[in-house]
Structure 1
Amino acid sequence: MTPLTISLFDQGPPAACPKPFNMAAHVLRHADALSEKPALEVLSETGAHVWTYGALKSAILGTAAGLLHAGFKPGDPLLMRLGNTVDFPIAYLAAIAVGLIPVPTSAQLTAPEVARIIDTLAPAAVLHDPAVATAETATAKNISTADLHDMRNLPPADFAMGDPNRPAYIIYTSGTSGQPRAVVHAHRAIWARQMMFDGWYGLRRDDRLLHAGAFNWTFTLGTGLMDPWTIGATALIPEADTPPAALPNLLHQHQATLFAAAPGVYRKMLDTPEDPALPTLRHGLCAGEKLSEPLRQRWQEATGTALYEAFGMSECSTFISASPTAPAPASTLGQPQSGRRIAILKDGQPAPLNTPGVIAIHKSDAGLMRGYFNAPEETAARFDGEWFLTGDLGAMDAQGHITYMGRADDMMNAGGFRLSPLEVEAALATHPDLATIAVTDVEIKADTRVIAAFYTADHDLVEADLKAFAAARLARYKQPRLYIRLPVLPTNANGKLNRRALRTELNAQTLKAKP
């Protein structure tokens, strides 16, 4: 490519999304031709439960028919409170297939958190696994996992084709307001994901892609399931609660050619006594949080395979990445994927090269959200003219490689989940013995970041009591792992809380001494 002169990467738009269109139909477009091929293998130490493309499509369209028979209409939101099982992607695609709007949520959410979502979303139904927390609602039907299983054998529904810009699904992300935000995505979002096939994965139809995440994580839904199925590859998912130490054997035993996980999983795999032996693996894929250069190098040395990182967000999935055909220079994220228009903005304009600014996505990107649910003002606030502002800082070189420089708004990253400290603080602030509270994520050792809560009080509080208080109000991934009492919380010249100071002023030995 011709060297850039400003921090603007634009190789032209991808092919336009077809009309009419349906996201689920696109994901299953090869299912008839590949009806006997394994689409999904759920792995355990003793073997695998295999779903062929034919069986998968039949279960999805049967469930879709059952949802229509239950009285739901196109456009109805369905809140998903399902566990880490194949029920999750089947129900997800079934809803999309007939124009319903699934709302996948983490199984870790507590009943109070779910209640707040129900209040704002007003779903037509809750798809509920009894083992997963939910909240009582008088306005939404309850569809149990048993109900969903009964639907699978119904005659198949037809795909509801239509405008690719209409809503397809909603996912929740935590924002700077301190409350989770509902992100509405269009059917066209799956069409945009094809830019990742070469721009990140190096994905082929004969691939066997093992994703280490849970079925109900959006990273797994996209990279681990939707994308392999779209191209006709085989998705491999470990059964629930599989420890990282077991993954090398599963990768070897089931002949995985690609592996996707958050950086923390790679680190835990490398902490085992023996280096992983992975003869069929071409390379690994990494997202969810920043990959450190030492971890990348350790994996390469231990396995002889490369790690390719991608950067994205709930509002647009991944859009900057390294790939087998375009490896990233050390300590950079890589380049914008072909077909993306990405800029580093300073004062609303593309910045000079190698100058820090806000990473921005052009509003024409097919993968960009439609907006936040019922929040037009909040949606508009994320745009500067034709650019969507990610809130992340970076710098671009002449070849388009982007160096990540942190969050502009103090967002935290907890195990791959973006999270506002304000949400955690709001939940903890009701503790009767806390005077003030502030949270941030801190690095306790290389490649390991945890949420830490800093508080003021007239005496040291029992950490076990604080953890129990948080556990009753927050999903596990939102709960602080460290609780540290300070005489006063640091502030800046304007009297506002200085979160950076929370990270830098602590004595490293104090953190290491914490359990």
Structure 2
Amino acid sequence: MTTLTTSLFDQGPPPPCPQAFNMAAHVLRLADKLADKPALEVISATGVQIWRYSELKSAILGTATGLLNAGLTPGDHVLMRLGNTVDFPIAYLAAIAVDLIPVPTSTQLTEPEVARMIATLKPAAILHDPAVPTASAPTSKTLTTQDLLEMRNLPPAEFSLGDPNRPAYVIYTSGTSGQPRAVQHAHRAIWARQMMFDGWYGLQPEDRLLHAGAFNWTFTLGTGLMDPWTIGATALIPAPDTAPAALPDLLRQHQATLFAAAPGVYRKMLDAPAPPALPTLRHGLCAGEKLSEPLRKGWNVATGTKLYEAFGMSECSTFISASPEALAPAKTLGQPQTGRRVAILADGTPAPLGTPGVIAIHRSDPGLMLGYFDAPDATSARFDGEWFLTGDLGAMDAQGHITYMGRADDMMNAGGFRVSPLEVEAALLNHPDIATLAVTDVEIKADTRVIAAFYTADHDLVEADLKAFAAARLARYKQPRLYIRLPVLPTNANGKLNRRALRADFETQTLKATP
């Protein structure tokens, strides 16, 4: 085993990406060979909807033809306002197949949030499920789910092959400035994901991988769908509104061999009266927020299987992880995956071993974003020479294992989504009775963090009214769960709002109040 002398772990280089490349073609590369094999099973307690590889590819390429017939041209942005159904991945890959640029979005976004995206991206089309909120866009075509359904049987489009560095898709992440950022990714991003197959998943073609997330979550799109399809495995997705308590039965009935979910899902499954009995499960995969040691150990005791954690972000997906072949010592995230070059930086250079610093990934990584759309200054601010700065803190040991030490800024984690407190504060400060406001995430019990809003006002405000005010302006995952009135908000020596002090004071008081 390699022994490091500084906090720089070089697991590269990755295999080179083909120069004539298309992300959707890569995902579907085995579809003809595996024509009759189930690619996707949408499962519930009452039945299963099966999509075979041949059916999936036909629907994707027929939809791609339909999008072009609708007048869209390569390079156009296509905003996706679709629900938690199979329409989502079909439309997503259809757009990429013919060099349109899809923008997947959460159904939880409100009309004002969508309007800001439209103003930035100026999409040529909006793919719209009438049950999902959207905003008016006079210059955009609107294609409904019925329109998309009718496209599936059209003659198949040809995959558009080209430079792997050209834009493929855009996803939104909460920016540290308070404004969500449009993250542009290249076609090569899917090529980088093969480093997770052994470095995190232990994924094999015969696997049946159940992902607990919705179709329209990027964690599900990557780990739950595209990666299994790339290797020729079967993806299992629970039907909409499946409760965590129902997942053990679905895992067992549908013989899942791998399971992927955010830590909160595992925690809810363990809260059931009886431990889950999962005879076919090899192990679980965990990402989106930090996995605690009690939860990791509790799952192992209850099920006899291990949980393997991965660390990543919207700008680079996951690049540090544990796996069946590379176990992580307790309280660490694991190691950089093979093909990655990762450092812990202090003052711009790799820190001494064991010394805290910013987790950084080399700018040559094929999974790294192209940049923030129409925001060159914001893009350049994330780089320090050859390194992309994640904004997360960590420390590295001599074997390259990385211990996570929190955020370098005030960004929050809400159920696997990164959220800027500035964005939430900007929305709530429009309330006429709030004088000052600070938002942060707080721990209310072991493994459970929620967003809390601390405000000053001349009287206590009705919490139900505050929640309704937030619901009209913010996606559900951005909305505070707690509203707490204080006489004054804490500041540091420079007069700057001190959110960390708020969090520490709240958690200290909560601990004192716990019997």
Q: CA RMSD in A?
A: 1.1
Q: TM-score, normalised by structure 1?
A: 0.99
| Residue pairs, 1:71-86, within 5 angstroms | 71-86=71-86
Counterpart residue identity of residue 304, structure 2: G
What is the count of residue pairs matched by the alignment? Answer: 514
Can you list the C-alpha shifts for 1:449-498, whole angstroms capped at 9, x where unaligned?
Answer: 10000000011100000000000000000000000011100111111011
Q: Answer yes or no: is 1:373 the counterpart of 2:370.
A: no
Query: Residue in 1 aligned with 2:113?
Result: 113
Distance of aligned partners of 1:510 and 1:398 in 2 relative to their CA distance in 1, 3 Å threshold: closer
Can you list the C-alpha shifts for 1:93-128, whole angstroms capped at 9, x where unaligned?
Answer: 000000000000000000000000000100000000
Query: Residue in 2 aligned with 1:404?
Result: 404
| Residue pairs, 1:346-357, within 5 angstroms | 346-357=346-357
Query: Residue in 2 aligned with 1:310?
Result: 310
Distance of aligned partners of 1:507 and 1:308 in 2 relative to their CA distance in 1, 3 Å threshold: closer
Q: CA deviation at 1:373?
A: 0.2
Query: Residue in 1 aligned with 2:11?
Result: 11
Query: Residue in 1 aligned with 2:492?
Result: 492
Residues 200 and 308, structure 1, Cα contact 8 Å, conserved in 2: yes
The CA distance in 2 between the partners of 1:320 and 1:497, in whole Å, is: 32
The CA distance in 1 between the partners of 2:502 and 2:242, in whole Å, is: 35
Q: CA deviation at 1:47?
A: 1.5
| SS at structure 2 position matched to 1:506 | helix
| SS at structure 1 position matched to 2:466 | helix
Q: CA deviation at 1:248?
A: 0.2
Query: Residue in 2 aligned with 1:276?
Result: 276
Q: TM-score, normalised by structure 2?
A: 0.99
| SS at structure 2 position matched to 1:278 | coil
Counterpart residue identity of residue 43, structure 1: I
Query: Residue in 2 aligned with 1:341?
Result: 341
Query: Residue in 1 aligned with 2:460?
Result: 460
Q: CA deviation at 1:4?
A: 0.3
Q: Stretches of 4+ moved more than 4 A in 1?
A: 507-514
The CA distance in 2 between the partners of 1:507 and 1:395, in whole Å, is: 25
Q: CA deviation at 1:511?
A: 8.7
| SS at structure 1 position matched to 2:497 | coil
Question: Which structure 1 segments of 5+ residues have no match?
Answer: none
Q: CA deviation at 1:32?
A: 0.1
Distance of aligned partners of 1:507 and 1:316 in 2 relative to their CA distance in 1, 3 Å threshold: closer
The CA distance in 1 between the partners of 2:249 and 2:82, in whole Å, is: 28
Residues 382 and 388, structure 1, Cα contact 8 Å, conserved in 2: yes
Q: Answer yes or no: is 1:262 the counterpart of 2:270.
A: no
Q: CA deviation at 1:14?
A: 1.1
The CA distance in 2 between the partners of 1:39 and 1:298, in whole Å, is: 32
Can you list the C-alpha shifts for 1:278-301, whole angstroms capped at 9, x where unaligned?
Answer: 000000000000000000000000
The CA distance in 2 between the partners of 1:223 and 1:11, in whole Å, is: 21
The CA distance in 2 between the partners of 1:459 and 1:343, in whole Å, is: 49
Q: CA deviation at 1:513?
A: 8.5
Distance of aligned partners of 1:512 and 1:185 in 2 relative to their CA distance in 1, 3 Å threshold: farther
Residues 335 and 402, structure 1, Cα contact 8 Å, conserved in 2: yes
The CA distance in 1 between the partners of 2:460 and 2:348, in whole Å, is: 46
Distance of aligned partners of 1:339 and 1:507 in 2 relative to their CA distance in 1, 3 Å threshold: closer
Counterpart residue identity of residue 318, structure 2: T
The CA distance in 1 between the partners of 2:267 and 2:238, in whole Å, is: 18
Query: Residue in 1 aligned with 2:202?
Result: 202
The CA distance in 2 between the partners of 1:510 and 1:3, in whole Å, is: 42
Query: Residue in 2 aligned with 1:58?
Result: 58
Can you list the C-alpha shifts for 1:16-56, whole angstroms capped at 9, x where unaligned?
Answer: 00010000000000000000000000001012100000000
Q: Answer yes or no: is 1:292 the counterpart of 2:292.
A: yes
Residues 168 and 187, structure 2, Cα contact 8 Å, conserved in 1: yes
Query: Residue in 2 aligned with 1:226?
Result: 226
Query: Residue in 1 aligned with 2:431?
Result: 431
| SS at structure 2 position matched to 1:298 | helix
Can you list the C-alpha shifts for 1:174-218, whole angstroms capped at 9, x where unaligned?
Answer: 011101000000000000000000000000000000000000000
| SS at structure 1 position matched to 2:403 | strand
Q: CA deviation at 1:509?
A: 5.5
The CA distance in 2 between the partners of 1:165 and 1:98, in whole Å, is: 15
The CA distance in 1 between the partners of 2:421 and 2:341, in whole Å, is: 30
The CA distance in 2 between the partners of 1:326 and 1:12, in whole Å, is: 16
Query: Residue in 1 aligned with 2:450?
Result: 450
The CA distance in 1 between the partners of 2:194 and 2:302, in whole Å, is: 31
Counterpart residue identity of residue 416, structure 1: G
Counterpart residue identity of residue 176, structure 2: T
Residues 10 and 341, structure 1, Cα contact 8 Å, conserved in 2: yes
Q: CA deviation at 1:378?
A: 1.0
Residues 444 and 512, structure 1, Cα contact 8 Å, conserved in 2: no
Counterpart residue identity of residue 377, structure 1: D
Q: CA deviation at 1:11?
A: 2.3
Counterpart residue identity of residue 55, structure 1: E
| SS at structure 1 position matched to 2:267 | helix
Distance of aligned partners of 1:310 and 1:507 in 2 relative to their CA distance in 1, 3 Å threshold: closer
Distance of aligned partners of 1:84 and 1:512 in 2 relative to their CA distance in 1, 3 Å threshold: farther
Counterpart residue identity of residue 409, structure 1: D
Distance of aligned partners of 1:98 and 1:507 in 2 relative to their CA distance in 1, 3 Å threshold: closer
| SS at structure 2 position matched to 1:505 | helix
Can you list the C-alpha shifts for 1:354-398, whole angstroms capped at 9, x where unaligned?
Answer: 000000010000000000001111111110000000000000000
Residues 440 and 451, structure 1, Cα contact 8 Å, conserved in 2: yes
Residues 362 and 388, structure 2, Cα contact 8 Å, conserved in 1: yes
Counterpart residue identity of residue 209, structure 2: L
Question: Which structure 2 segments of 5+ residues have no match?
Answer: none
Query: Residue in 2 aligned with 1:476?
Result: 476
The CA distance in 1 between the partners of 2:504 and 2:177, in whole Å, is: 24
Can you list the C-alpha shifts for 1:434-453, whole angstroms capped at 9, x where unaligned?
Answer: 00011000010011010000
Q: Answer yes or no: is 1:37 the counterpart of 2:51.
A: no
Query: Residue in 1 aligned with 2:501?
Result: 501
The CA distance in 2 between the partners of 1:462 and 1:230, in whole Å, is: 51
Residues 80 and 105, structure 1, Cα contact 8 Å, conserved in 2: yes
| SS at structure 1 position matched to 2:506 | coil
Counterpart residue identity of residue 427, structure 1: A
Q: Answer yes or no: is 1:185 the counterpart of 2:185.
A: yes
The CA distance in 2 between the partners of 1:184 and 1:340, in whole Å, is: 20
Distance of aligned partners of 1:116 and 1:512 in 2 relative to their CA distance in 1, 3 Å threshold: farther
Q: Answer yes or no: is 1:140 the counterpart of 2:136.
A: no
| SS at structure 1 position matched to 2:250 | helix
Counterpart residue identity of residue 374, structure 2: N
Residues 22 and 97, structure 1, Cα contact 8 Å, conserved in 2: yes
The CA distance in 1 between the partners of 2:257 and 2:329, in whole Å, is: 24
Counterpart residue identity of residue 88, structure 1: F
Q: CA deviation at 1:133?
A: 0.3
Residues 443 and 507, structure 2, Cα contact 8 Å, conserved in 1: no
